[in-house]
Amino acid sequence: MSDRIIEADWTYLDGQFEAGLRVQVGADGRISRVGSGGDEPTERLSGCALIPGFVNAHSHAFQRGLRGMAETFPQKSGNFWVWRDEMYRLVGELGPERFHDVCVQCFREMLRCGITTVGEFHYFHHDETCGGFAFDELVLSAARHAGIRIVLLNACYMTGDIGQPLEGGQRRFGSVSYEQFIENVERIDTLLDGDTQRQGLVAHSIRAVPIDDIVRLHAYASKRSMVLHMHVEEQQREIDMCLLHHKMRPMELLIERMPFGREFTAVHCTHTDPGDMTQFINRGANICICPLTEANLGDGISAAAKMWADGGAICLGTDSNNRIDMLEEMRLLEYGQRLRHEGRGVFKGRGGSVAEGLMRCATEVGARSLNIDTGSIAPGQHADVVVIDLNAPQLAGWTRESLLTSLVFGCDAGVIKNVCVGGNWVF
Ligand SMILES: [Zn+2]
């Protein structure tokens, strides 16, 4: 098959839109050349702009099944832990078929809003018998069905809380031992589609994995050049429980025990101590913030402005998938901090552009967190691109200089016309 050459009116390159660029895609689904001139385009997209596909660094696809629920509060106070009971109720109801359908639906919605890669933080391993790891294959199958690139972030989950046995719905997440978990990781390796599927590892949280096993997981992941993700300090209660058992905060304990660097991503860090965060950032690790979910669950607002100012690598996740729109996640990341600090212009990127800074969070940093070649339109990268309809009413009035800001601050996914993953048009 000969190379394809895609040319839109405008292509997003190095933080700005350039005209007349041709993006050449090889038979391997990767970009082989970006530049002006050369061979005539095989696909000329007029009235369109090309941007890199978004990277969703944190998702639990099955939680899409909770949409429309858990938003009425007749008696109990509505907090994270009450919401978690609702989520466990959903877990009890999901058989293999419905689980697969919900995941496909969720991944399709992601593609339609320009997400070309999902980091699926997957802990729901077992069917109703609580044995085997059949649901791992279902997630991979759902991603293949939808056409999305996936990094299956395979989660170890061993305790109900620190030192506590698994209970109820949690039994469908559990590994009986570290060894059993690793055995399954190695089985999953053989099931991955080499072009669009990778595996990373997860220690679900300090609540769900003993610290010694978290350290072992990290060593195993590092040896195999896999990324490691973990929920860290989303809720104050997690910090209190950890202080009680370990006399340290979760992040403090991880810094003390685990020699991590850029391969590690801590998800949320909503209540992380400023001193711990400085050490975390100095090690080059990533922070994944999930603005819509954190707002929905009433988690709190993280110190993301300070993280960004200190050079923290911040990426984004749709987490509970109650609402899926990456442009909205980007805006809420910025707006949460504006509301907190009563000031504007937090995630400033090149030339002081907030849209450019937020774009990097939603693309390049996500790719860094998942360790995959995507997140920018450049030679060697996967051809994961999104086509923006420049005639969409939401964009009316755009100029070359204002286009990115109009997109990030004024649009929803309705302006997205097509989506390409690894050189294939999937939407
Ligand atoms: Zn999560």
- CB-CB contact of 360 with 329 (8 Å): no
Contact (CB, 8 A) for 301 and 273: no
**What is the pTM for the complete model shown?**
0.97
- pLDDT at 76 > cutoff 80: no
Task: Please report the sign of the dihedral spanned by the C-alpha atoms of residue 281, residue 286, residue 291, residue 294.
Answer: negative
Contact 169, 197 (CB under 8 A): no
Cα distance between residue 375 and residue 54, in whole Å:
7
Residue 120 has pLDDT above 80, yes or no: yes
Q: Is 319 noted as a catalytic residue in this protein? A: yes
What is the structure's pLDDT at 213?
A: 97
Residue 154 per-residue DSSP state: E
User: Same structural domain for residues 320 and 245?
Assistant: yes
- Residue identified by tokens 């949280």 is 205
- Boundaries of domain holding 298: 54-370
DSSP 8-state assignment for residue 3: P
Q: Which residues contact 283 (CB under 8 A, 6 or more apart)?
A: 255, 260, 261, 262, 264
> In angstroms, rounded to a whole number, what is the distance separating the alpha carbons of residues 88 and 79?
14
Lowest-pLDDT choice from 34-38, 56-60, 72-76, 372-376: 72-76
CATH number at residue 11: 2.30.40.10
114 and 92 co-located in one domain = yes
The structure tokens 């939808």 sit at 146
Q: Are 143 and 106 in contact (CB under 8 A)?
A: no
Domain shared by 95 and 29, yes or no: no
Percentage of the chain surpassing pLDDT 90?
91
Q: Which of 136, 319, 325, 384 is catalytic?
A: 319
Residues 119 and 16 in one domain: no
Q: Let me know whether 33 and 134 are in one domain.
A: no
**332 and 194 within one domain:** yes
**Residue 1 confidence class, pLDDT cut points 50, 70, 90:** low
- What are the structure tokens assigned to 130, written together? 């609580």
Q: Give the residue from 329, 350, 370 where a domain finishes.
A: 370
Domain shared by 179 and 230, yes or no: yes
Question: Are residues 197 and 80 both part of a single domain?
Answer: yes
Tell me if residue 249 falls in helix, strand or coil. coil
Task: List pLDDT tens digits, range 292-305.
Answer: 999 999 999 999 99
CA of 251 to the centre of ligand 1 (A): 16
Q: What is the DSSP letter of 284?
A: T
365 Cα: distance to centroid of ligand 1 (angstroms):
18
**Cβ-based burial of 272 (10 A; exposed 0-12, middle 13-18, buried ≥19):** buried
Instruction: Assess whether pLDDT exceeds 90 at residue 91.
Output: no
Model confidence pLDDT, tens digit, residues 303-359: 999 999 999 999 999 999 999 999 999 999 999 999 999 999 999 999 999 999 999
C-alpha 265/C-alpha 280 separation (Å) is 10
Mean of the per-residue pLDDT values for the chain?
96
- The mean pLDDT of 83-100, rounded to a whole number, is 91
Distance 294 CA to ligand 1 centre (A): 10
Residue pLDDT, tens place only, 187-200: 999 999 999 999 99
Q: Which residues pair with 23 in a beta bridge?
A: 6, 34
176: domain CATH number is: 3.20.20.140
pLDDT for 86 equals 87
Q: Which of 122, 125, 218, 268 is catalytic?
A: 268
- What are the structure tokens assigned to 265, written together? 């991503």
Question: Are 350 and 302 within one domain?
Answer: yes
Interhelix angle for 354-362 vs 403-410, to 10°?
A: 70
| 153 plus 265 within the same structural domain | yes
Phi, psi of 376 (to 5 degrees): -150, 160
Sign of CA dihedral 401, 407, 410, 414: positive
Average pLDDT for 161-183: 94
Q: Are residues 168 and 135 in the same domain?
A: yes
| Count of structural domains within the chain | 2
One domain for residues 34 and 130: no
> Of 300, 259, 319, which Cα lies nearest the Cα of 63?
319
pLDDT at 2: 74
How far away, in angstroms, is 378 Cα from ligand 1 center? 30
Last residue of a domain, one of 353, 370, 387: 370
Measured in Å, residue 249 CA sits from the centre of ligand 1 at 19
Q: Is the pLDDT of residue 164 over 70?
A: yes
60 alpha carbon to ligand 1 midpoint, in Å? 6
Closest CA to 302 of 354, 263, 266: 266
Taking a 5 Å cut-off on Cβ, the residues next to ion ligand 1 are 319
- Structure confidence at residue 33 as a pLDDT band (50, 70, 90): very high
Instruction: Give yes or no for a contact between 249 and 276, defined as CB atoms under 8 angstroms apart.
Output: yes
Domain boundary among 344, 370, 396: 370
